[in-house]
Amino acid sequence: MRRAIFPGSFDPITLGHYDIIERGVTLFDEVIVAIGVNADKKYMFTLEERMNFIKESFKDEPKITVVSYKGLTVDFCLKNNVKFILRGLRNPADFEFEKAIAHTNRDLAPIETVFLLTAAKTSYIASSIVRDVIRNNGDYTKLVPKTVRVK
17 belongs to the catalytic site: yes
Tell me the pLDDT tens digit for each residue of 22-48.
999 999 999 999 999 987 889 999 999
Judge whether 103 counts as a catalytic residue.
no
Nearest-angstrom CA–CA distance, 74 and 111:
7
Q: What CA–CA distances, in Å, run from 43 to 9, 46, 50, 124?
A: 9, 7, 10, 21
* Annotation says 9 is catalytic: no
Choosing from 3, 90, 99, 106, the catalytic residue is 90
**Could you give the domains of the chain?**
3-142 (3.40.50.620)
pLDDT tens per residue across span 100-127: 999 999 999 999 999 999 999 999 999 9
From 64, 61, 80, 86, select the one nearest 5 (Cα to Cα). 86
pTM of the model: 0.94
